[in-house]
Every structure is written in C-alpha cells, then in structure tokens.
C-alpha cells in the first residue's frame, strides 16, 4: 500500500510540473476612443458637406513575452438606422443621408468589409505602456437633401478594432447634423412698372418672387412701405400673402401694386420714363 501511494504522488507532481512549463500566449490588446463629429447642414446647397474627424487607437503589451509591434484594422458599421448600407442620421421620423470615408474627397468609404477598413501598425511597444496612433476620417453629407425639418439629426456608428481576425476593442463614432432654420428669397422680385396716363383710369401692376424656407418653418413677409408717391402720382403696394410655412421647396408670391384713377401727376413732358423708387421686401423667420 505504501508503494502505491508514493507512485500516485509522483505522478500528480509530474503533471503539475508539465502544466507549469507550458508557453505563455501573446496578449497585445488595442482599444479605440469614441469621437463625435458635428456639422451644420444647409439643405439647398448642392455640394457635399464634408466634416473631418479622427479616431485614436491605443495598444499595449500585457505579458512579458508579447511582441513589440501590432498590426490592426478598424471597421465601422452602417449606424443605428441605415437604409441598406446607407448611413442615416435621424430626427423624429425624418432622416438625412451621410457616409463615413477614409479620404476628404468622399471616394474611399470607411466600412465593415475587410477592404473598407482603416489599417495601421504600431511599432516600438515595450513594457506595459500603451502607445497610440491617430487616423483621420471624413463625414460626407450629400447636398440638396431638401424638405427636412430644422433640428438636430443624430446617428451612432459602432467601430471595432481587430488584431488579425480577433476583435480586441469596440468603440463608437457619434454623428450630429444640425439643420438650421433658414429662409431665402430664391427668386428676387422684379419691377412693379406702372404705365399711367394723367387723369386716366386706375392702373394695376405686379411682380413675382419666391421664397424657400426649411420644411415646417413658419415665416412672415412684409414691405418697408406700402404707399408712396412717384412723379406726383400716388400708389399702393400689397403682398399676395403675409407669410407661410416652409416646405423646403420654392414657394411663389407676388407684389401687387395699384395707382388710383384721376391723378394729374407732375410730369412736364409727354412721358416720364425711368423714374423709380426702391422698396424693401422683408422675410422674417
């Protein structure tokens, strides 16, 4: 019995010694920060709205036997409310399309497919001190996305750092697109031209203009003066509407004038061409 007991003790000790001599596995880990990019988006502008941003990847050794360098990739998904692979920022139920790119010309997408990832290498790792490397990206919002309510549109993209095929870190990129309340006189008014004969009948005249305002944005319109006298002839001006609510598209209006009948005027010649006055159209929102 004594001999059997000793053999068992020696056998267990040998197993323990064998386990202790197994080689340690490399354990370089990488993490990524959580940047936020913000842009103001003017809907009628036709060109891309391009906003630069950057991510920071930090890697460190965790075991004495780890190497001194690591090569990694960073993938970005399509955000929290994509349409297929199209990134979209959301306000209520309305979205604005955008995409993340690896270049400022918005040609090389930053995505989740292996060929679309950001790549990098950190050399010179020593001890257990982390080293970091920055990578630029660009958020591109296509122009002329009209008819959107004014407000703040947001999205959240998930980023993953991989050492080969192993995910070692997860982060986010927050996107904020601010659509300001905006009105423009998209078609300027022309001339309210009266052709009037002394002591003649009343003469109407008008000119058209158009206003483009952010969708759902209320606005009012006015003239600096609605009555005047030119060459001794009185006239009145009125707008076809006092205001409206923006649709994101051009909305047509007119300035309507009237010169009452029976006025003599002060024109000494047969005609008085080229006599003008300037009035100001005001859009308030």
* Percentage with pLDDT > 90 across the chain: 80
Q: What is the pLDDT of residue 2?
A: 43
**Higher pLDDT pick, 45 / 251:** 251
Please give the domain boundaries of the chain with CATH numbers for all domains: 23-179 (2.60.40), 183-284 (2.60.40)
What mean pLDDT, rounded, does the chain reach? 90
**pLDDT over threshold 80, residue 5:** no
pLDDT higher for 9 or 103? 103
DSSP single-letter state for residue 38: E
What is the per-residue pLDDT for 269?
81
Compute the average pLDDT of residues 208-216: 94
pLDDT above 70: residue 198 = yes
101 against 6, higher pLDDT: 101
* 200, pLDDT greater than 70: yes
SS3 sequence of 193-249: CCCCCCCCCCEEEEEEEEEEECECCEEEEEECCCEEEECCEEEEEEECCCEEECCCC
Distance, in Å, from the CA atom of 231 to the CA atom of 113, rounded to the nearest integer, reads 74
pLDDT single digits (tens) 83-101: 999 999 999 999 999 999 9
pLDDT level of residue 121 (50, 70, 90 thresholds):
very high
Cα 31 to chain centroid, rounded: 27
Residue 9 pLDDT > 50: no
**Overall pTM > 0.75:** no
Q: Which residues contact 284 (CB under 8 A, 6 or more apart)?
A: 219, 220, 221, 222
- Spatial contact of 128 and 73, defined as CB atoms under 8 Å apart: no
Could you read off the pLDDT of 67-82 as tens digits, one per residue? Answer: 999 999 999 999 999 9
Would you state the pLDDT for residue 165? 85
Question: What pLDDT was estimated at residue 274?
Answer: 77
Tell me the torsion sign for CA atoms 165, 166, 167, 169: negative
| pLDDT tens for each residue of 139-182 | 999 999 999 999 999 999 999 999 988 999 999 999 999 999 99
Please determine, for residue 258, whether its predicted confidence score (pLDDT) is greater than 90: yes
Has residue 13 got a pLDDT over 70?
A: no
* pLDDT tens for each residue of 99-119: 999 999 999 999 999 999 999
Percent of the chain with pLDDT over 70: 91
């Amino acid at each position: 019995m004594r001999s059997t007991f000793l053999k068992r003790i020696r056998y267990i000790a040998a197993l323990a010694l064998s386990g202790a001599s197994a080689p340690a596995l490399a354990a370089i880990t990488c993490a990524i920060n959580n940047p936020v990019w913000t842009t103001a988006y003017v809907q009628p502008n036709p060109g891309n709205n391009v906003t630069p941003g950057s991510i920071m990847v930090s890697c460190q050794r965790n075991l004495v036997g780890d190497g001194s360098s690591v090569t990694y990739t960073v993938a970005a998904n399509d955000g929290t409310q994509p349409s297929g692979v199209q990134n979209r920022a959301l306000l209520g139920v309305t979205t604005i399309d955008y995409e993340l790119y690896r270049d400022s010309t918005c040609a090389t997408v930053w995505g989740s497919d292996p060929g679309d990832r950001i790549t990098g290498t950190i050399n010179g790792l020593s001890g257990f001190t982390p080293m970091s490397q920055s990578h630029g990206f660009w958020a591109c919002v296509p122009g002329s996305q009209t008819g959107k309510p004014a407000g703040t549109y947001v999205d959240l993209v998930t980023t993953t750092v991989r050492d080969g095929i192993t995910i070692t870190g997860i982060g986010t990129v927050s996107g904020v697109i601010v659509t300001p309340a905006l009105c423009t006189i998209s078609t300027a008014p022309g001339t309210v031209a009266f052709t009037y004969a002394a002591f003649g009948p009343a003469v109407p005249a008008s000119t058209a203009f158009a206003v483009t305002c952010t969708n759902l944005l209320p606005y009012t319109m006015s003239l600096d003066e609605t009555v005047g006298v030119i060459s001794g002839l009185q006239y009145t001006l009125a707008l076809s509407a006092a205001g409206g609510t923006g649709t994101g598209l051009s909305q047509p209006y007119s300035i309507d004038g009237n010169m009452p009948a029976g006025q003599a005027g002060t024109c000494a010649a047969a005609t008085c061409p080229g006599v003008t006055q300037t009035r100001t159209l005001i859009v308030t929102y």
